[in-house]
């Protein structure tokens, strides 16, 4: 009966073992996972756009090959994540429709434009860097398929982060104009990267329950602080200035204290008012509609072979 199943679920969580697709789980646990995994999958797929914009304008064949590999990885991450959501009973096409109809979210960060090639480097360094901080703990998430998908995703994100940093290092060794491009990109992406971690803990409606269930392992503020502590020395090594006059090292705690984040900007971007929200969704909608015949043909082929 349900009491026994619930006890077994609680015991699995308490023992820090994994919940698997066939196990009983509370409806709220399933819903929270579908919400977070779908949002994560949508972010990977929408996240192909800002960098994809530079594929035809990469400055060399080598840079183009690297960028193409990265953008393809992001498609793959979206696919693993949609598969993980399917193990919870979600339907991939339905999730895509919800994204396009704005009934499900994707990360705020992908609503900013990529103005120069330095943005490709800064996305790798800061956006993939933030993604790694946030996602490495998710490799221990309590839901098995999500945790396992995250292991491979994190390995690929590490490559993405390093390619970004290497690109920026190369530009910083170049001309004054290239150094100025890098600094300009850092100025534009720094604060939005901090917002990727979500609202502060006291304004995060989902954190407490998600942490109790072991879906999330740390609060938003703790991960944001880890990211800042990791990024400041990297900025120093690179020779760029982070656009925050309040950044100071708290010698006692060993943490970099940072200035106030403009939370109204995050709210605006999440609610659809960011610089590129309309463009991102329009492109995703066009991809779904223009390629519907491929999906139909593949489904007809699969049905024929199954029968």
Q: Where on the chain is the footprint of ligand FAQ (CB under 6 A)?
A: 35-36, 39-40, 43-44, 47, 74, 105, 107-108, 123, 127-128, 131, 134-135, 195-199, 204-207, 210, 216, 220, 270
Nearer to ligand FAQ, 229 or 265 (CB): 265
- Is residue 35 within 8 Å of 90, Cβ to Cβ? no
Q: Kindly state the smallest distance separating residue 86's Cβ from ligand FAQ, in Å.
A: 17
Compute how many other C-beta atoms are within 10 angstroms of the C-beta atom of residue 138.
22
Q: Which CB sits closer to ligand FAQ, 74 or 119?
A: 74
Closer Cβ to ligand FAQ, 131 or 238, answer by number = 131
Between CA 196 and CA 223 the distance in angstroms is 10
Q: How far is the CB of 15 from ligand FAQ (least distance, A)?
A: 23
Q: Which CA distances in Å does 62 have to 68, 126, 182?
A: 10, 21, 19
Closest of 218, 37, 40, 29 to residue 131, by C-alpha? 40
**Least distance in Å: CB of 304 to ligand FAQ?**
36
Residue 93, C-beta contacts closer than 8 angstroms, at least 6 positions apart: 295
Neighbours of 39 (CB within 10 A): 17
Please check whether residue 142 is in contact with residue 77, taking contact to mean a CB–CB distance below 8 angstroms: no
Measured from the CB of residue 213, what is the shortest distance to ligand FAQ in angstroms?
Answer: 11
Report in angstroms how near the CB of residue 141 gets to ligand FAQ at its nearest: 9
């Amino acid at each position: 009966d349900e009491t026994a199943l619930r006890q077994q679920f609680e015991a699995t969580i308490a023992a820090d073992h994994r919940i698997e697709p066939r196990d009983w789980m509370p409806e709220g646990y399933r819903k929270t996972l579908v919400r977070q995994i779908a949002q994560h999958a949508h972010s990977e797929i929408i996240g192909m756009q800002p960098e994809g914009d530079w594929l035809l304008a990469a400055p060399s064949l080598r840079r183009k090959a690297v960028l193409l590999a990265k953008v393809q990885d992001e498609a793959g991450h979206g696919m693993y994540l949609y598969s993980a959501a399917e193990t919870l009973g979600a339907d991939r096409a339905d999730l895509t429709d919800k994204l396009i109809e704005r009934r499900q979210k994707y990360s705020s960060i992908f609503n900013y434009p990529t103005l120069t090639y330095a943005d490709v480097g800064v996305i790798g360094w800061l956006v993939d860097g933030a993604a790694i901080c946030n996602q490495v703990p998710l490799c221990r998430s309590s839901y098995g398929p999500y945790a396992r998908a995250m292991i491979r995703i994190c390995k690929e994100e590490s490559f993405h982060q390093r390619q970004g940093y290497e690109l920026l290092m190369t530009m910083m060794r170049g001309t004054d104009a290239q150094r100025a491009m890098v600094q300009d990109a850092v100025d534009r992406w720094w604060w939005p990267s901090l917002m990727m971690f979500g609202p502060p803990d006291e304004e995060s409606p989902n954190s407490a329950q998600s942490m109790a269930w072991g879906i999330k392992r740390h609060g938003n503020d703790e991960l944001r602080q880890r990211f800042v502590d990791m990024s400041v020395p990297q900025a120093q090594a690179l020779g760029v200035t982070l656009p925050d006059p309040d950044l100071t090292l708290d010698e006692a705690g060993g943490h970099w204290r940072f200035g106030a984040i403009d939370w109204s900007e995050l709210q605006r971007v999440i609610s659809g008012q960011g610089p590129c929200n309309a463009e991102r969704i329009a492109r995703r909608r066009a991809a779904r509609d223009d390629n519907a015949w491929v999906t139909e043909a593949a489904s007809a082929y699969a049905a024929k072979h199954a029968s």
